[in-house]
Structure 1
Amino acid sequence: MTSDARHGALSRRSTLALASAAIGLGTGGRAPRASDYPTKPIRIIVPYTPGGTTDIATRLVAEPLSRVLGQPVVVENRPGANSILGAGVAATSAPDGYTLVMVLPAHAANATLQAGRLPFDPLNGFAPLSLVVSAPLVLAGSKHVPAATLREFIDHIRAHPGRVNYGSSGIGATAHLAMEMLQLRTSLRMEHVPYRGTQPALQDLMAGNIGLMFDTYSTLKPQFEAGNIRPLGIATMARAPFAPELPTVNEGSGLTDFAASSWCMLLAPTRTPEPVLERIAAEVRTIVQDPAMTRRMQDLGFVVEGRPPAETGAFLRAEVERWRTVIQAANVRVE
């Protein structure tokens, strides 16, 4: 095990304990009438460090949401345990519409990876609010591997089973599970090197210490443009409008239906009043579907969603099942 992986395992154990403790600190309080909402500042918990995909998407929405609701919307970063700490704080907050949380697919994966150990229920502990945006994953390759296209990478990996490493931002991250899904679909054999975040993995990809990694287009684009890494494919069914020159993973692999995206989903504590949920969801949908905001988000590699609560809940349940299948088939474990 790498030192990064050992440190990450210790961090996950310690922050899981903190998240469990947070359950006992939930605030009570009477939910306000929806007609009075909002009468005070709203916080959106981002269970990751500043500057990442979730943080960027949340801040893009928070400012216009504050204007339309007439109250400050404060973004609060609460990283730890692959989103568990921040989600735990939100789960135990008063169900009054004044605490929300923006989660990534790790929230869906944790339902399986941390089954029986979570201090909250990833599905029933929250009220779905809005699937705000999605971000298709892009496959990048190291220039130190003697291959230039995805097909050449696949041929190289098959000729050297188990000798090519791939990296990810951590065990259970979307980038990790997407690569496991690709291996299952193509019968490839690679070694996983988990890192404590995307940037260390990206640095090792550029240095040639790992051969491949998935991440979002906005993260990888500067290094593509600088010629430091190879763009191999985007995990969508058709080429993306923000990167039409980038072939799909399906084009390069011979698969027909491989797709994988990160996404940002807004949740509230369960029992938050339905009219409050509908009000926030409607405002978020209007914000992200505004043409100027849509263009801004597309430039960052996002696909605008703005789905209502019922569709968001159905999507989350489907994602839990989807990643459960991959986790169990690939025998993914957290320590």
Structure 2
Amino acid sequence: MSERTQRRKLAAGSISTRRRFLRIAGAGTAVSLAGCLTEEGPGVDAGEDWEPSESIRYIVPYDEGGGTDVYARGIVEPLTDAMGQDIQIDNVPGGGGLNGFGDLYGSQPDGHTISGSAVPLEVTPQLLEDPGFDQRDLEGLGIIGRSTWCLVVNEEYQGEVETFDDVREKHNSGEWDSIGIQEPGSPQDIMTLLAKHEPEYADEYDWQWENRVQYTGTGPIAEAVTSGEVPCGIGTDAGTRPNVDSGGVYPVCTFFSEGTDVYPDIPSVTDEGYPDMDFVAGVNRGLYAPPDTPESVIDELSGRIEEATQDQQYEEWSEETGNPIFFEGPDAANAAIDDAFEEFEDLEIVSLIEEHS
């Protein structure tokens, strides 16, 4: 068991109140990632520099086309160059991201399997039902970007529906009866429940949606809105951008108060006078390795991921798509998960979901 896991379990009963989006640059405590099976873990000799010796499997715990998938495919070429090995992207959707995380959890901690993430998207599913593992035991490699949750609408309504106020009126009047979101416990699930049922938010939002149609990720949501299966849906800016670019949907607003670089011209809900939901309205694009991955492997993987984020190909991708890129190291990735659990437990998000979902 890693020292990080031991410290997390000792601190599990100490939860502080924080209402903020997970801004974790420089956050977190010093972490020791020493392996449990040997000094340097299985398959790694102490004192030797680690090098990838075969292709690397990059798990995306969501469908193709979602934001986590978009970031993976954006960095795959520069990451291949940095690793000196092929990168094989493997979409493992389902369970609110936990199917992919469970796959990573059971993989060999030898540096040849990593996973993307969309923290805090994966947190509530674990709080709702024990998946048989704890994602807080995963070893952070770094954070390579962030996304925000945006409301997109079928292009049939362009010129008629241009703000969150307009979307709210469509639902409240009964003209629309549905909205596309992800599974119970997802940020979209939480935001829509807050806006209808939690007095602190509902008194201002008064968003009387009738039905929430649930999908496995932003990609399927964007496709459902494009096809007219639902008139609108909530997805990440990164994940909805391909559908916006190809036509069929357009963005109306973001739920993150500071806006989005992907759609710089759309307002946030706070711009329209609604309370902010920043603690759940943003997504950290993290990368993780299996539990007990040796420290030498973590350091080498993290360094090569940082190298990839500085590659001109990745910078050009960022400029073309509007998706922000940067690098924050293993401590930041670990803190993103740990902080999200503390935040959601403190706000009793599970009780809200169980009462109204």
* Secondary structure of 1:101's aligned partner: strand
- Partners of 2:195 and 2:325 in 1: how far apart? 25
Cα displacement (A) at 1:104: 2.3
Deviates most, 82-91 or 319-328: 319-328
Instruction: Please state if 1:235 is matched with 2:255.
Output: yes
Mapping of residues 93-172 of structure 1, within 5 Å: 93-105=107-119, 106-114=121-129, 117-124=130-137, 126-142=138-154, 143=156, 147-158=161-172, 164-172=177-185
Cα displacement (A) at 1:250: 1.3
Supply the AA of the counterpart residue of 2:306: R
Classify 1:270/1:289 alpha carbon distance in 2 versus 1 (closer, same or farther; 3 Å): same
Percent identity, please. 21
Deviations 1:179-228 (A, max 9, x none): 33444422423231113554554454346553431112344346556774
Structure-2 residue corresponding to 1:83? 97
What TM-score comes out, normalization by structure 1 length?
Answer: 0.76
Unaligned runs of 5+ in 1: 1-27
- Partners of 1:224 and 1:66 in 2: how far apart? 28
Mapping of residues 1-335 of structure 1, within 5 Å: 29-33=42-46, 35-41=48-54, 42-105=56-119, 106-114=121-129, 117-124=130-137, 126-142=138-154, 143=156, 147-158=161-172, 164-183=177-196, 184=198, 185=201, 186-190=205-209, 191-198=211-218, 200-206=220-226, 209-221=229-241, 224=244, 228-256=248-276, 258=278, 260-290=281-311, 292-324=313-345, 325=347, 327-332=349-354
Deviations 1:265-292 (A, max 9, x none): 2111122122321222232123224455
Structure-2 residue corresponding to 1:6? none
* Secondary structure of 1:247's aligned partner: coil
Cα contact 1:180–1:326 (8 A) shared by 2: no
Supply the AA of the counterpart residue of 2:230: I
Supply the AA of the counterpart residue of 1:111: Q
Classify 1:187/1:329 alpha carbon distance in 2 versus 1 (closer, same or farther; 3 Å): farther
Cα contact 1:91–1:120 (8 A) shared by 2: yes
Classify 1:193/1:73 alpha carbon distance in 2 versus 1 (closer, same or farther; 3 Å): closer
Cα displacement (A) at 1:308: 0.7
Cα contact 1:148–1:230 (8 A) shared by 2: no
Classify 1:34/1:232 alpha carbon distance in 2 versus 1 (closer, same or farther; 3 Å): farther
Classify 1:303/1:92 alpha carbon distance in 2 versus 1 (closer, same or farther; 3 Å): same
Instruction: Provide the alpha-carbon RMSD of the alignment.
Output: 3.3
Supply the AA of the counterpart residue of 2:189: H
Deviations 1:165-184 (A, max 9, x none): 21124333343334334444
Supply the AA of the counterpart residue of 1:268: A
Q: Which structure carries more relative contact order (alpha carbon 8 Å, separation 6+)?
A: 2
Aligned residue-pair number: 304
Cα contact 1:97–1:268 (8 A) shared by 2: yes
- Partners of 1:270 and 1:196 in 2: how far apart? 25
Cα contact 2:63–2:220 (8 A) shared by 1: no
What TM-score comes out, normalization by structure 2 length?
Answer: 0.72
Cα displacement (A) at 1:296: 1.2
